[in-house]
């Protein structure tokens, strides 16, 4: 492959989205559409990427991944005009310039590679990625003589005869950069939309004696662009299927792929079972032989092997091998859960470590804490980490047993091997190997009830 750059058109508002948000930032499976296009380009080995921004340029620019160049088009005067604004991005550049669109997130690296291969083998100055649509309404039509590409004509400018053509322009191309620079000089806005059409460069190049070609997309879904929220949902469905299929091919078991919502940056190990309603967002890795039960949501987290998670929420945390989570557990950011731990029902953990073998089987809050190995936290243990202004840390060292319904008022440490009696409110450190009882002593008043009965008569 020759030296290649990619330019992505993304200046439009996308009025039909009925949204304040720039179209290319709308998300598919939790990731901005334009990011998929950038990733496809990078996947094909093209790291030099420019994006044309216009509507809410600052918002789009700020959202672009590092290393991507933003070029501003202040007025949207057409796709040709957009590329002219980006001339500095490819001035003096000898090689291929891919022109893609930011609202077609399904484009795959294989398709880009195929287009570039055809472009180079054919010695073309421009190669258009095309598709055959049963209903081509609205798209630019590919006008050919035999197999030879003649021109692209926009729907609004097309004759009846041209409108009958079913081969359409995807809006994605591979150009010879130098030839494109030359052709752009001849663009005129003398058409139905009074816009500078990038598509006119095809005719211009031909008139200049250059060869142009087309590449029918190997995968029809690759070129689908999003213009409305209905289409966004359709594309999301296709993307979901792609993500899930790829994971199943690598060994994951997804019981119902239609109702399992995984981010493109999710990795799932072998024989891990995902039940319906599982959602992952951001970068998530799940190891081998796990069970991820229904309606579990995992965001930016790493899960080890053999972990069992039931109907729980896990945010920016790690869970190590053999651990049980849930049902209805809530792991908030920066929870580090060790091996063979139990985080049971209605347990919330925040910014805390639970070392190997620790257990909080039910109804417990663990915040800003370190829980040692094999510690058992009884039902209803509360780490009282907040005084209304400050947050403090609690440490429960290895092999401690905290009785039910205890409060550990931080900052406080329960030293190794100690017991805390049920119902205690611990405000002072507990030395090792001891029993702390911090509750009112029980008093039994014998015969009291009988006296009360007398008074009632
Ligand atoms: C364009 C093509 C058409 C093709 C279709 C595929 C032209 C003249 N026509 O038409 O042949 O079938 O795409 O979807 O190119 N954009 C800018 N700046 C502008 C105008 C557009 O950045 O001034 C961006 C848009 O944000 C969008 C892309 O270019 O990402 C395509 O623009 P759009 O208006 O959707 O083009 P179509 O008229 O649909
Ligand atoms: Ca248009």
Sign of CA dihedral 61, 64, 66, 72: negative
Please tell me if the CB atom of residue 173 comes closer than 6 angstroms to any atom of ligand 1: no
Nearest to 287 by CA among 272, 297, 265: 272
> Atom 8 of ligand 1 has which residue's CA nearest to it?
197
Out of 71, 79, 129, mutate this one to test ligand 1's pocket (max ligand atoms within 8 Å of CB): namely: 79
Say what the pLDDT of residue 26 is: 98
- N-terminal to C-terminal alpha carbon distance within the chain: 102
Q: Which two tokens stand for residue 361?
A: 């089987």
Q: Are strands 342-354 and 330-331 parallel, antiparallel or unpaired?
A: parallel
Q: What's the pLDDT band for 68 if we cut at 50, 70, 90? A: very high
Distance CA(84)–CA(76), nearest Å, equals 12
User: Which residues 6+ apart lie within 8 Å of 415 measured at CB?
Assistant: 397, 400, 429, 430, 431, 432, 433, 434
Please tell me if the CB atom of residue 408 comes closer than 6 angstroms to any atom of ligand 1: no
Phi, psi (deg, nearest 5) at residue 360? -135, 90
Q: What's the pLDDT band for 269 if we cut at 50, 70, 90? A: very high
The per-residue pLDDT for range 191-210, each reduced to its tens digit, is 999 999 999 999 999 999 99
CB–CB of 23/226 below 8 Å? yes
Ligand 1 centroid to residue 9 C-alpha, Å: 8
User: Which residues 6+ apart lie within 8 Å of 86 measured at CB?
Assistant: 7, 50, 52, 71
Nearest to 102 by CA among 140, 136, 60: 60
The per-residue pLDDT for range 23-60, each reduced to its tens digit, is 999 999 999 999 999 999 999 999 999 999 999 999 99
Q: Nearest bound ligand to CA 140?
A: 1
User: Which residues 6+ apart lie within 8 Å of 84 measured at CB?
Assistant: 184, 187, 196
The per-residue pLDDT for range 400-434, each reduced to its tens digit, is 999 999 999 999 999 999 999 999 999 999 999 99
Phi, psi (deg, nearest 5) at residue 397? -75, 175
The per-residue pLDDT for range 347-379, each reduced to its tens digit, is 999 999 999 999 999 999 999 999 999 999 999
Mean pLDDT in residue range 284-299: 98
> Atom 5 of ligand 1 has which residue's CA nearest to it?
171
DSSP 182-211: HHHTT----STT----TTHHHHHHHHTT--
Q: Cα 250 to the chain's mean position, in Å?
A: 19
Judged against a pLDDT cut of 90, whether residue 326 lies above it is answered with: yes
Catalytic residues: 362
Closest ligand 1 atom to 52 CA: 22
Nearest to 358 by CA among 336, 345, 377: 377
The per-residue pLDDT for range 85-138, each reduced to its tens digit, is 999 999 999 999 999 999 999 999 999 999 999 999 999 999 999 999 999 999
């Amino acid at each position: 492959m020759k030296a290649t750059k990619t330019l992505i058109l993304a200046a439009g508002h996308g009025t039909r989205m009925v949204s304040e948000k720039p179209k290319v930032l709308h998300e598919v499976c939790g990731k901005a559409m334009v990011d998929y296009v950038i990733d496809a380009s990078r996947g094909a080995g093209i790291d030099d990427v420019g994006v044309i921004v216009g509507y809410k340029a600052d918002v789009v620019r700020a959202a672009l991944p590092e290393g991507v160049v933003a070029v501003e088009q202040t007025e949207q005067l057409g796709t040709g005009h957009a590329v002219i604004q980006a001339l500095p991005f490819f001035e003096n550049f000898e090689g291929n310039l891919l022109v893609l669109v930011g609202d077609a997130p399904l484009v795959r690296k294989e398709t880009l590679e195929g287009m570039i291969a055809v472009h180079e083998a054919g010695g073309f100055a421009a190669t258009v990625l095309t598709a055959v649509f049963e209903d081509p309404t609205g798209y630019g039509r590919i006008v050919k003589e035999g197999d030879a590409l003649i021109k692209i004509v926009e729907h609004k400018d097309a004759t009846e005869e041209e409108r009958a053509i079913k081969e359409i322009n995807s809006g994605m191309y591979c150009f010879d950069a130098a030839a494109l620079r030359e052709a752009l000089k001849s663009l005129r806005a003398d058409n139905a939309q009074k816009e500078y059409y990038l598509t006119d460069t095809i005719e211009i190049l031909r008139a200049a004696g250059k060869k142009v070609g087309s590449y029918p997309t190997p995968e029809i879904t690759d070129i689908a662009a999003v213009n409305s929220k209905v289409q966004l949902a359709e594309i999301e469905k296709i993307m979901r299927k792609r993500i899930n299929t790829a994971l199943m091919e690598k060994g994951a078991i997804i019981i119902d792929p239609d109702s399992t919502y995984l981010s493109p940056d999710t990795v799932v190990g072998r024989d891990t079972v995902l039940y319906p309603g599982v959602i992952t967002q951001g970068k998530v890795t799940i190891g081998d032989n796990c069970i991820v039960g229904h309606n579990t949501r995992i965001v930016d987290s790493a899960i080890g092997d053999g972990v069992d998670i039931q109907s729980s929420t896990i945010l920016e945390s790690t869970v190590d091998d053999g651990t049980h989570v849930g049902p209805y557990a809530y792991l908030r950011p920066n929870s580090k859960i060790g091996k063979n731990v139990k985080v049971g029902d209605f347990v919330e953990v925040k910014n805390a470590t639970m070392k190997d073998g620790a257990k909080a089987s039910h109804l417990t809050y663990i915040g800003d804490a370190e829980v040692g190995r094999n510690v058992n936290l009884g039902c209803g243990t509360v780490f009282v980490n907040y005084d209304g202004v400050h947050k403090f840390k609690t440490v429960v060292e290895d092999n401690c047993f905290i009785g039910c319904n205890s409060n550990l008022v931080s900052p406080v440490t329960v030293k190794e091997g100690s017991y805390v009696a049920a119902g205690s409110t611990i405000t002072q450190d507990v030395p090792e190997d001891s029993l702390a009882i911090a509750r009112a002593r029980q008093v039994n008043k014998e015969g009291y009830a009988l006296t009360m009965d007398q008074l009632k008569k």
